[in-house]
Structure 1
């Protein structure tokens, strides 16, 4: 089962993503800021990290740069509803951000994209009634 770390300072967004990916059979952890995410990486080795861009403290691009150093094999997705993403973060390393997804997202498209990014090898776990 693939593991996903979701990082977003908006509780509703983080909860929606957690429900979506758990329903699809992924193991999911949530962090509400960059520092909390880095702490989770000590014990949780994700296959994929989805981070919001605009968060208080460390922004998503900065977080994903640190994730690249700590968990280099993890796919790193930046999620944002802001078109000015790169102009507002000129130091963001293109290498640190594997992929960009715009808010609002379409659930089916997001799940499909994540499965593709993970190589399609992470099928959902069997559901229990």
Structure 2
């Protein structure tokens, strides 16, 4: 079963993503900021990390740069509704982002993209349906 870590400081957004991916059969953990996400990665071996860009403290690009160092095999997705992403992030942080998805997202498109990025990893209940 593929494991997804969702990082967003907006509780409603994090909850919506958690519901979406759990319904699709993924194991999901949620963190509400970058530091919490890094702590969770100590015990939760995420296959994919989805992070919001604009968060208090560490932004999503900075977080994904650190995720690359501690969990280099994890796919790293930056989720944002803002066009000015890279103006406030160093180029090394931008390079740590595997994929970018705009807010608002389409649930079906997001799930399909995640499945593609994970190479078909899914839960047994989803694959047998």
Q: TM-score, normalised by structure 1?
A: 0.93
Cα deviation code 1:71-90 (max 9, x no counterpart): 00000000000011112324
Q: What secondary structure sits across from 2:125 in the alignment?
A: coil
Tell whether the 8 Å contact from 2:86 to 2:94 is kept in structure 1 after alignment: no
Indicate whether 1:14 and 2:7 are aligned.
Answer: no
Question: Structure 1: which 5+ runs fail to align?
Answer: none
Indicate whether 1:116 and 2:120 are aligned.
Answer: no
Distance 1:124 1:109 in 2: 19
Question: Structure 2: which 5+ runs fail to align?
Answer: none
Shift of 1:92: 4.5
Q: What secondary structure sits across from 1:119 in the alignment?
A: coil
Indicate whether 1:53 and 2:53 are aligned.
Answer: yes
After TM superposition, what 4+ stretches of structure 1 lie above 2 angstroms from structure 2?
90-95
The alignment of Structure 1 onto Structure 2 pairs a total of residues equal to 126
Q: 1:79 to 1:22 in 2, by over 3 A?
A: same
Q: Which residue of 2 aligns with 1:106?
A: 106
Superposition RMSD on alpha carbons, in Å?
Answer: 1.2
Q: TM-score, normalised by structure 2?
A: 0.93
Tell whether the 8 Å contact from 2:61 to 2:94 is kept in structure 1 after alignment: no
Cα deviation code 1:50-76 (max 9, x no counterpart): 000000000000000000000000000
Q: Which residue of 2 aligns with 1:85?
A: 85
Deviates more, 1:94-103 or 1:82-91: 82-91
Shift of 1:126: 1.6
Distance 1:66 1:16 in 2: 25
Shift of 1:95: 2.9
Q: What secondary structure sits across from 2:122 in the alignment?
A: coil
Distance 1:35 1:94 in 2: 19
